[in-house]
Chain A
């Protein structure tokens, strides 16, 4: 049976699914390598179900859009989400089956509109 919320971290079975609030896809709650999902692997959108400042569940429940990709020197890539209603920010691990094209498009987007001319830098 399908649920409209991303699953809570501690409960649920491997057959559990949720429906993406952005693209409508029905998504398995777990990745192929057995990790619980936080966002839709197709469009990378999420839902504000957890209060990350106070802890515990959030009453917001609005859509969270991916706004940035963080590439730590060590550790996994992360998707930064921002809630479209209350602006809360979260960082969540990129999963093995996340849409790679959307990921890279998001990751290089700042370079498309640099605040200074890139020509002055030469080779980095």
Chain B
């Protein structure tokens, strides 16, 4: 059975929450969850919505799929675009490369929020800085 073909693309987008057939999902390298390729609010899913883990497949440009690395990429931090949208910064555990990726509509909010408050809960937070905030 072909894993992906252009003819199935339309059906994939329409599919709701029924069980995900092989070819429309990938196995997360971080938590082993089966993750559907289709993600609400983005053109293509870049990371696992549960643990935010990604794979190193792009080189310079998101979606170019030019990297031969294939290493596991962990979410390192959050950034914000000028319009306020959150970006996840991933780093590759194999080669160290960084990438910035939009969050998806079904990313686990608790996991995202833990990442957002990490600078505040870190015991090494500069006391001087907290006083002026």
Bin chain B's interface residue count: 35 or more
Which of A68, A82, A114 is close to B113, meaning CB atoms less than 8 Å apart? A114
Q: Contact at B86–A110, with CB atoms within 8 Å?
A: yes
In angstroms, Cα B84 to Cα A115, docked, is 8
Report yes or no: B89 in contact with A70, Cβ–Cβ below 8 A: yes
A70/B76 in contact, CB under 8 A: yes
A1 at the B interface (CB under 8 A): no
Q: Besides the contacts A68-B78, A80-B98, A104-B130, what 11 more A-B pairs have beta carbons closer than 8 Å?
A: A68-B77, A70-B89, A78-B77, A91-B91, A104-B125, A107-B120, A111-B116, A111-B117, A114-B113, A121-B109, A124-B117
Taking a contact as CB atoms under 8 Å apart, the answer to whether B79 and A67 are in contact is yes
Closest to B120 in A: A108
What residues of A have a CB within 8 angstroms of the CB of B28 in the complex? Answer: none
- The proximity string for A residues 36-71 relative to B, scoring 1 for CB distances below 8 Å and 0 otherwise, is 000000000000000011000000000000011111
A interface: dominant SS: mixed
User: A90 → chain B, closest Cβ, in Å?
Assistant: 7
> Interface residue count for A (Cβ, 8 Å)?
35
A residues near B (Cβ < 8 Å) are 52-53, 67-72, 77-78, 80, 82, 87-91, 100-101, 103-105, 107-116, 118, 121, 124
Closest A residue, CB atoms, query B122? A71
Indicate whether A115 sits within 8 Å of B124 (C-beta atoms), given known contacts A68-B78, A121-B113. Answer: no
**B60, chain A: closest CB distance, angstroms:** 7
